[in-house]
Every structure is written in C-alpha cells, then in structure tokens.
Structure 1
Amino acid sequence: MSIEFLAVLLAGAFAGGLVNGLAGFGTALFALGFWLQVLPAAQAVAIVVVMSVVSGLQGLWTVRSEIRRNPARLARFLMPALMGIPLGVGLLSLVSATMLKIVIATFMLLYGGFFLIRRSLPRFERSTPVLDSFVGFAGGILGGAASLSGALPTMWCAMRPWPKGETRAVLQPFNVVVLALTAMLFLLNGLYTPQTLMLMAIALPVTMIGAQVGLVIFRRLADDQFRFLLIFLMFTSGAILALREMV
C-alpha cells in the first residue's frame, strides 16, 4: 500500500464524513470522487455504504430529540421508501443506470442552480403528508436503481420551512436505513472480502473524525444557512455525479 494510495483513501474518508456530518447525506458522492481513482468500483461502493451508515449514526444521536418529537413525519418518508427499493432494483432491468444517474444529476443541477441565484430561499409551508410519502417512495426507487436515495428527499426538505434539526431528523435516518439495507445486501453477495474489511478499518476512524467536524459546523448554522447549504450541496453533488457518469 503506497503513500499515495493511503492519502487518497483517507482524503475520501474525511470528505465523506465531513459532508455527512454537515448535511446528513452526500457521503458516497464526495468520497467516491477520491476512491474511484484508486479502487475498483464495486469495492469502493461497498466501503462507502458502510462509511455512510457509520457517519450517519453519529448524526442520528445529534437529532434524536427531534426524531422522537415527530416520528410520524419520518415514517411518511421512510415506510414508502422501503416499498420503493425493490421496485428500483427491478427498474434496472428496464432502464440504464448510467442514463438514470445523468437525468437525476441534471435535475439536481437545475434545482440547485435555480435556487442559488435567487435572493430568497424557497418556502413551501402547508402540510403535505401525501407528497411527503410520494417523495419517500420515489427516493426508495432511486436508491434501489441508482444508489441515489437521498436526492429527492433533500430537494423536498430544502423547500420546507422546517428548523434544521427537524429537516435532519428526516434526512439522516432515511439515508441510514436505506443504506444499511444496501450494506446487508452487499454482505450477502460476498462483497466484503478481507482486503475490503482492512481498507474499511483504515478509513473508518477518519470518517468518524470528519463527521464530528461536520457536526460541529452544523450546530453553528442558522436554519436558513442550513437550507442554503443543502441547496448548494445538491448543486455540487449533481455536478460531481454528472462528471463521473460522463467521463
């Protein structure tokens, strides 16, 4: 294992943990930008899924009171997502995963770019339980089809006037549960080889440190600053995804 390889592995681990600590999503997109340079795709994805769950669990503890305060809201997103995951897996036989990712990346860029150039952030204030469930269901489908479970829920939550803790109390457990299920599928498929587990053990502490740094910054953000951060990260994530799929 060369110094260059180790540096890229640890840089990806820190970047992924930092973004997850900040926003509750985005570990895979930011970590894979580093790891796909030095690791096979299947191995990189297998590692990043576990890193996402571990860093996400730290964020869950931060917003545990908000989760307990409104479990029904989280359930509106999460329960339909669980039904959408197998449909997304089935969708892969009908639609190219690469094409699907490019379409979603384009939507993320248009969404993020539009709201970044506006002077005021979007505010969708009335209660919408049916739309919440639809967004969760669609997020589950995208998770099963393209590992993009957090894209639509993040866009939707950024448009709601919820305090940052309430927003994160939806996004963080949503992504942790979906990705934990994905990790179990990877385990059953034999993707966690001894070498993969060794690399994971090296990256894990750095991911946890990055997540803690992100959580410190998260606690200092105002509600509107956090919503702006979500929109900015959505735009950045769309750019990273589009570049990775088109190169």
Structure 2
Amino acid sequence: MNGEMITFLVLGAAAGGFINGLAGTGTALFALGFYLVVLDPMRAVAIVALMSVLAGLQGVWIVRTEILAHPARFIRFLVPGLAGVPLGLMLLDVIDAGTLRIAIAVLLILYGGYFGFRTALPAFSRETPFLDGGIGLIGGVLGGAAGVSGALPSMWLSLRPWTKSETRAVLQPFNVLILITTVTLLFFKGAYDQTALRALVVALPSGLIAAQIGITVFKSLSDTGFRRLLILLTLAMGVGILVSELF
C-alpha cells in the first residue's frame, strides 16, 4: 500500500464520515469518488458501506432517546425497507440500473433545487403510516437496485416539521440497517478480501473521528437548519449521481 492509496483512503473516509455525522446519510456521495481512484468498484462500495455502518452507529447513539420514544415511527420505515432490498436485487435482472439512477438523480435535483433556496420550507405534519411504509419499501428497493437507499427517505423526511433529532432517529438507523444488509450480501460475494480489509484499517480512524466532528456540528444546528441541510443534501445527491452516471 503506497502513499497515494493511503491519502485517498484517509480523505474519502474523512469526507464520508463528516457528512454521516452531520446528516446521517450521504456517505457514499462524498467518499466513493476518493475510493474509486485507488480501489476497484466492488471493494470501494464494500468499504463505503461498512464505513457508513460504523460511522452511522455513532449517530444512532446520539438519538437513541428519540428512537425509543417513537419506535413505531422508525419500524414502519425499516421493515418494508428491509423487504425491499432483495426485491431491488431481483429487479437488476429486468431493469437498467444506470437509467434508474439517472431518473432518481433528476427527481432529487428538481426537489432540492426547488425547495432548497425557498424562504419557507415545506411542512407535512399529518400522520401517514402507510405512506411512510411505502417510502421505506421503495428506499429498500432502490438500495438493492441502484445503491441509493437513503435518497427517497431523505427527501420525504425533509418535508416533516419534526425536530432534527426526531428526523435523524428515523433516517440514521434506517440507513444503518439497510447498509448492514448490503454489507452482508457483499461479504458473501467475497468483497472483503485482504486488500479491502487493509484499506478499511487505514480508513477507519479518520472516518470515525470525522463522524464525531460532524455530530458536533449537527448538535449546533437548529431544527429548521437541519431540515434545510437535508433538502440541500438531496440536491447534492442528485448532482453527484447524475455526474457519476453521465461522465
């Protein structure tokens, strides 16, 4: 392992860890570009997924009270989401994942661009358990089919006038558990070989430290500031996905 590889692994882990600590999602968007310079796609995705889980557990811990206070809210997203992952993998045989990712990117850009710079943020306060479950299911399907499980839940939760901790108490554990499913599937595909494990050892310290810095910034945000951050992050996700697919 040379100096260039170590540098890109550390930078990717730091970028991904920070955004994970700050927003509870978006790790791959900020880290994957660094990893793909020095790793093949399967190993790069495997490292991003596992780093997202490890950094995300820190974020889950800081909102554990809110998770326990509203367990039904979290579960109605999660259970359909987990069921959606294998459905998404099955869809890979009949759809083009690249086309699907481009369609998702356009949706995220339109949403993030429209709401991200408005003075008044959208507010959808009515309880919608069946719709929430549907969002979770589609998030899981998109995670299995296109690797973007957090995109639709992020967009939907940014509409909710919840506190930042309530929002994160759904989004963060949803992403962590969907990604644990992804990590498990990648493990059985042989993605975590000696090269990947050495890369993980290099990346892990900077990723965990950066996640703590992101969590510190998260704590200083207002509830409205966090909602605006999620909306702008959907815009960034859309641009990042579109660029990766077209170029």
TM-score bin (small chain): over 0.9
Q: Matches of 2:133 and 2:184 in 1, distance apart?
A: 24
- Say whether the 8 Å CA contact 1:30–1:237 is kept in structure 2: no
2:46 match: 46
Residue correspondence of structure 1 range 21-100 to structure 2 within 5 A: 21-100=21-100
Residue 186 of structure 1 aligns with an amino acid whose one-letter code is L
2:224 match: 224
Cα offset for 1:5?
2.4
Q: Matches of 1:240 and 1:82 in 2, distance apart?
A: 25
2:208 match: 208
Q: Matches of 2:5 and 2:19 in 1, distance apart?
A: 22
3-state DSSP of counterpart to 1:107? helix
- Say whether the 8 Å CA contact 2:151–2:237 is kept in structure 1: no
- Say whether the 8 Å CA contact 1:33–1:240 is kept in structure 2: no
CA RMSD of aligned residues (A): 0.8
Q: Matches of 1:111 and 1:36 in 2, distance apart?
A: 28
1:3 match: 3
1:224-247 Cα distance to aligned partner (Å, 9 max, x none) = 000000011111111111101111
1:118 match: 118
Cα offset for 1:149?
0.7
Q: Matches of 1:18 and 1:147 in 2, distance apart?
A: 20
Q: Matches of 2:54 and 2:5 in 1, distance apart?
A: 22
Is 2:15 the counterpart of 1:15? Answer: yes
- TM-score normalized by the length of structure 2: 0.98
1:109 match: 109
Q: Matches of 1:152 and 1:60 in 2, distance apart?
A: 19
Q: Matches of 1:238 and 1:121 in 2, distance apart?
A: 19
3-state DSSP of counterpart to 1:95? coil
- Say whether the 8 Å CA contact 1:98–1:245 is kept in structure 2: yes
Residue correspondence of structure 1 range 126-137 to structure 2 within 5 A: 126-137=126-137
Residue correspondence of structure 1 range 121-160 to structure 2 within 5 A: 121-160=121-160
Residue 45 of structure 1 aligns with an amino acid whose one-letter code is V
Cα offset for 1:38?
2.1
Cα offset for 1:116?
1.6
- TM-score normalized by the length of structure 1: 0.98
Q: Which runs of 4+ in 1 moved over 3 A?
A: none
3-state DSSP of counterpart to 1:36? helix
- Say whether the 8 Å CA contact 1:22–1:217 is kept in structure 2: yes
1:140-164 Cα distance to aligned partner (Å, 9 max, x none) = 1101101111111110000000100
Identity %: 52
Q: Matches of 1:4 and 1:44 in 2, distance apart?
A: 15
Q: Matches of 1:37 and 1:66 in 2, distance apart?
A: 39
1:242 match: 242
Cα offset for 1:2?
3.0
1:142-188 Cα distance to aligned partner (Å, 9 max, x none) = 01101111111110000000100000000000000000011111111
Cα offset for 1:197?
0.2
Number of equivalenced pairs: 247
Cα offset for 1:43?
0.9
Is 2:179 the counterpart of 1:167? Answer: no
Residue 149 of structure 2 aligns with an amino acid whose one-letter code is S
Gaps of 5+ in 1: none
1:104-146 Cα distance to aligned partner (Å, 9 max, x none) = 1111111100002321111001111111111001101101101
Q: Matches of 1:30 and 1:18 in 2, distance apart?
A: 9
